[in-house]
Amino acid sequence: MRTVIAALMLTLALGAQAESLIFENVRLVDVEKASVSEPTRVGVRDGFVVDADSIDPAEADEIVETAGYLIPGLAEMHAHVPPMRAGEQRVNDTLMLWLAHGMTTIRGMLGEPGHLTLRQQLADGEIPGPRLITSGPSFNGSSVSSPEGARRMTLAQHEAGYDLLKLHPGLWPEVFDVIAQTADRLGIDYSGHVSVAVGVDRVLESDQGTIDHLDGYAQKMVPEDHELHGTDPGLFGVNLIEGMNAERIPELARRTAEAGVANVPTQSLVENWATGDVEALMQRDAMRWIPADMAARWRERVKQLRQSYDSEEGAQRYVELRRRLIRELHEAGALILAGADSPQILSIPGDAIHHELAIYVEAGLSPAEALATATTNVADYLGETNRGCLEPGCVADVVLLENNPLEDIGNTRSIQGVMRAGEWFDRERLDAALEAIAERAGET
């Protein structure tokens, strides 16, 4: 399909925010109804979607003529914003990688004080990038070892203004309980890993927001009379493959749905590690945006990770069991939120979410259901009624695709432009930014 994007009035300097814009001849993808509208017009003014007829075309700052498909902006719900000590350039480049791939919201899962400033700069449009939701520094076995310490750290992070608490491995049940109680009282989310000593049962009894990486489920899938029951699960249960029993999945899925706990599977990350062709992954086109030093580290680390899997069959079985868990969680009505843990090992910021969505479809979700994990499910999870939508009144966080994502989820990659809070990044502008990132990546 040949598409022409005509900017009729290029009176704005690059980077300036158009106050009003009209998408002409665009089809709207309704994620919840799994349908596509007839070609229509969509207006945007001051960062929000408005009725296109309320904008006089002669007065519009920009008119985008397209035959494409508009979807709500995507989210990466398990992102790692680089620490500020990595340097401003690397932080900004990573943010642009997410944005250029259609991510208008990221949930940073390892925050630090500098990320609070960054969150504000992104909100103010001072730095191009997605909206940032950020956790504080990690709660883990080393950072918090006593209930009193847990209480103090929870209070301090709430006071500092973080959006959520990041739970990492190594927490003791009495510590987890205090974090949960204190956070519930303050009304702050706590999400992330399931510590071995805490376990999925305790998490499902709590108000934990998300379980990330499907952590903790492998332990519950090993029957009590199996020799691996209660043994060291390793990273995400990789030591338990031989003991994992798929018959346990439906009940776990049902209980998760009942508990109202969401999951951020980061399945693409795990598949890259377990069964991916490392050389092919390293040769991907998108690797050109990854700094050479980081790429070299990835290659080394994934070799170590591979040693966690006893056999190829075991790794394959592990991947399949996890996919089945994702499908059954979804079918049971538990919320799945797209997350890929980028830029963890082999997970390229932005690119990785498209991989993640494709995996959800391979696992049994429809393209619309997969798309929901990065759009409407996220709005539901966050309790936001004006995101994940395209109607007048919605925040103008949208992605314009050349091809219909409901026909093929891979079409989420056919990005013609991204709009973040009304600021329009057309293909040319995105490509210029990506080219500069690739150049810098090659220089490291």
Nearer to Zn ion, 111 or 367 (CB): 111
Q: Which of 49, 30, 130, 66 is nearest to 401 (CA)?
A: 66
Return the sign of the alpha-carbon dihedral for residues 326, 330, 335, 336.
Answer: positive
Query: Contact letters (x/-) for Zn ion, 300-339, by CB under 5 A?
Result: ----------------------------------------
Minimum distance from residue 295 beta carbon to Zn ion (Å): 19
What are the backbone angles phi and psi of residue 176, rounded to the nearest 5°?
Answer: -55, -45
Q: In the bound complex, what is the minimum distance in angstroms from residue 242's beta carbon to Zn ion?
A: 26
Q: 101 vs 213, which CB is nearer to Zn ion?
A: 213
Minimal distance, residue 235 CB to Zn ion, in Å: 12
- Smallest separation (angstroms) from Zn ion to the CB of 79: 8
Helix (H) or strand (E) holding 243: none
Interatomic CA distance for residues 435 and 430, integer angstroms: 9
Locate tokens 């620490």: which residue?
Answer: 83
Of 109 and 394, CB closest to Zn ion: 109
Residue whose token pair is 């929870």: 154
Residues from 83 through 122 that contact Zn ion (CB under 5 A): 109
Give residue 293's Cα distance to chain centre.
Answer: 24
Question: Number of residues in contact with Zn ion, rule: CB under 5 A?
Answer: 2
Q: Is 165 in the site for Zn ion (CB under 5 A)?
A: no
In terms of CB distance, is 80 or 413 closer to Zn ion? 80
166 or 387: CB nearest Zn ion? 166
Closest approach of Cβ 258 to Zn ion, in Å?
26
Query: CA dist 263 to 23, 214, 257, 438, Å?
Result: 34, 7, 10, 33
Q: Whose Cβ is closer to Zn ion: residue 62's or residue 341's?
A: 341
Q: How far is the CB of 270 from Zn ion (least distance, A)?
A: 12
Task: Work out the burial of residue 165: count CB atoms within 10 Å of its CB; fewer than 13 is exposed, 13-18 middle, 19 or more buried.
Answer: buried
Residues 74, 387 contacting (CB under 8 angstroms): no
Give which of 250, 377, 403, 402 is closest to 325, Cα–Cα: 250
Distance separating alpha carbons of residues 339 and 354, to the nearest angstrom: 10
Q: How far is the CB of 232 from Zn ion (least distance, A)?
A: 20
130 in Cβ contact with 108 (< 8 Å): no
Residues at the contact surface with Zn ion, assessed by CB under 5 A:
109, 341
